[in-house]
Structures are given as structure tokens and as C-alpha cells.
Chains A and B, each alone.
Chain A
Amino acid sequence: AQSVTQLGSHVSVSEGALVLLRCNYSSSVPPYLFWYVQYPNQGLQLLLKYTTGATLVKGINGFEAEFKKSETSFHLTKPSAHMSDAAEYFCAVSPQGNTDKLIFGTGTRLQVFP
């Protein structure tokens, strides 16, 4: 079964520093991959997604992710963290055989310090 693994349940960065949130997937075929963000006491919002085409995907709020088949990874990055980026981030995969669904990783909480 397809799944995603998020390495690091908590990540802390200083304001202005690079943000790197890691996600690895398990799939024998090219997957469909997503990053969602959850701000405190809110539902999830889509940041970006990879389906086909360009492997570097740009999303909202300056985030981007690169699909690397050789590394089975889809890490999320942002060059310069802002205080407002503090949230929980979820990587997700849409399983082959039922692309109506999303299977989420366990999430990474990002803290941004001034």
C-alpha cells in the first residue's frame, strides 16, 4: 500500500532561515503527492501538489517541493521562514487504485523563532 513518512515530528527554525520539511513515499509507481498546512484551530489547506510534469512544484506562501524519484522524496522547502509559517505540515499521497482518496503522513510541527 502506498504511504508517506515524514521525518521529524517537530522542526524549529529562526525567522529568515531555510525551512526544510522531509517527506518520503513508498510506491512502486509514480505517485500523486501533496503538501497541506494546518494553522492552529483550523482545517487543512492545500500548499501544493505534484501530479505529472515538472518535478519542482511551487505553492502558496513561497513554499515549493521537488519530486525526486531516485530518492522517493518530496521535501518541502522555503528559503526564508516567517513567523506566520508556524503551523503543522502534512505530506499526503493519493493511492493508485483510488485517486479520490488522500493518505496523510503524521505531520511535522514547524516552530519559527524570532
Chain B
Amino acid sequence: DAGVIQSPRHEVTEMGQEVTLRCKPISGHDYLFWYRQTMMRGLELLIYFNNNVPIDDSGMPEDRFSAKMPNASFSTLKIQPSEPRDSAVYFCASSLAGPITDTQYFGPGTRLTVL
């Protein structure tokens, strides 16, 4: 398997623009997680899905952020409108089950810069 695939790897945009980050989980994995990593706040869980259904979005910072998982092989994280403070590395991860019983596999991340 190719592992968790994220695109784009780098994104530079201007404040106010819409940004869409994409993730393809490992085939067969039922869980998908979106994380954000910054120097100030470390690694934060934004939202996770189980069987394509959002389970916990309490980490989503505000209404400008939205995530979808239309099918088992694809998820998006959208920021609209983007702001400079959204600059971070965004990771997607997937697993067969929760972390107690299974390993979370992380993608390489998308480095977002909002000017």
C-alpha cells in the first residue's frame, strides 16, 4: 500500500482565499483523522471520522474550517476564508481501529502558508 496520501504537499495562498486540503487514507481503514501542527500549539486533533461519519469535531478552530469524507477513500479539509494564523502543517492519519488496538498511520502533511 502507498500509505496515507495527502495533496498538495505545499500550499501558499493569500489571506481571504479558499484552501482545500486532500487526503486519501489507507485502503480498508475505518478511521480518518485531521491534525494541525504549529510551533505555538503543537499537534492538535481537528476532527476525526469513523466509517465516513464525523465523530468528533471539537478541535475545529472555527466556522471557517470544514471537513468532509464523501467516501471511504477520500477526505477534504477546507478553510474559507483563510487567514495568516492558519499557517501550519496539516496532517491526515488513518487506522483500522482506535489507537488502543491499532496504529495510526500519518501522511506526509501539507504545509500551508497564508500570506
Contact = CB atoms under 8 A, between A and B. Distances in A.
A102 B91 contact: no
A49 B99 contact: yes
Given A34-B99, A99-B98, A100-B50, A90 B43 contact: yes
A99 B95 CA distance: 13
Contacts of A41: 108-109
Interface string A76-92: 00000000000000101
Contacts of A98: 56
Interface residues of B, number: 22
A99 B104 contact: no
A102 B106 contact: no
Contact of B45 (A34, A90, A103): A103
Interface in B60-104: 91, 93, 98-100, 103-104
A28 interface: no
A100 B106 contact: no
Contact of A43 (B44, B99, B107): B107
B104 A42 contact: no
Interface string A51-73: 10000000000000000000000
Nearest to A6: B42
Contacts of A2: none
B93 A100 contact: no
B50 A43 contact: no
Given A44-B91, A103-B45, A105-B42, A94 B108 contact: no
9 contacts: A32-B100, A43-B109, A44-B43, A44-B106, A99-B99, A99-B100, A100-B50, A100-B99, A101-B98
Interface of A: 32, 34, 41-46, 49, 51, 90, 92, 94, 98-107
Q: Which 6 A-B pairs have the closest CB atoms?
A: A43-B106, A100-B98, A104-B43, A106-B42, A44-B106, A46-B103
